[in-house]
Amino acid sequence: MRLSLLSYVAVGLLAALGFAVVPAEAQRRPAQPKVRPKDRPLDRLQRMTPVERKRALEDLPPARRRQLEQRLERFDHLSPEDRARVDRFREFSSDRQQSVRRAFGDLNQMRPRRQDTVRRELRDLRGLSEADRRSRLDSSDFRERFGPREREVIEQLSDVVPR
């Protein structure tokens, strides 16, 4: 019995030491650069002249080219306010972008009447200062009026909606 307990302790120590050792190649490997918003293909294409853009798009597979052309066309037809919203969204970290997308998805899954109520609340919050908005989100009236998921969606989107 004593030998098996000692064996377990030895194996545990060896395993712990083995996991703590970082291979030399991993220590030397440089960190992968994060894709910055200005490095994304759509952003690069938007900064190009029409001639450069056409040349860059010609080199892409047809399906990818069509996809980027459609996105560029949609962006070109946005109002200045909508372009500002898109630019602001692009400045968010990828985690923040994902949480905003998820919140909009959750909003779109709500019943139409609740969607309208949540959208009205977001519109009302739009005109408030940061302190007033925080006060509203922390109020008992807000907690009583909205369910947990609705509150979460509103809190996620309250600082995204433009003023």
Residue 106: the pLDDT is 95
Q: Find the mean pLDDT for residues 65-72.
A: 90
What's the pLDDT tens digit per position in 70-101?
988 888 888 988 888 888 888 888 888 899 99
What is the C-alpha to C-alpha distance for residues 159 and 163, in angstroms, rounded to an integer? 9
With CA atoms as reference, report the closest residue to 34 among 83, 95, 75, 87.
95
Q: In what helix (H) or strand (E) does residue 147 lie, and over which residues does it extend?
A: none
- Hey, where are the domains in the chain? 37-91, 94-158
Residue 81: the pLDDT is 85
19 confidence band (pLDDT: 50, 70, 90)? very low
Residue 132: the pLDDT is 93
Q: Which residue has the tokens 């433009």?
A: 162
CA torsion sign for 118, 119, 124, 130 is positive
What is the C-alpha to C-alpha distance for residues 64 and 53, in angstroms, rounded to an integer? 14
What is the C-alpha to C-alpha distance for residues 151 and 101, in angstroms, rounded to an integer? 16
Q: State the CB neighbour count (10 A cutoff) for residue 152.
A: 15
This prediction's pTM: 0.58
What's the pLDDT tens digit per position in 100-156?
999 999 999 999 999 999 999 999 998 888 899 999 999 999 999 999 999 999 999
Q: Are the C-beta atoms of residues 42 and 72 closer than 8 Å to each other?
A: yes
Read off the DSSP letter of residue 60.
S
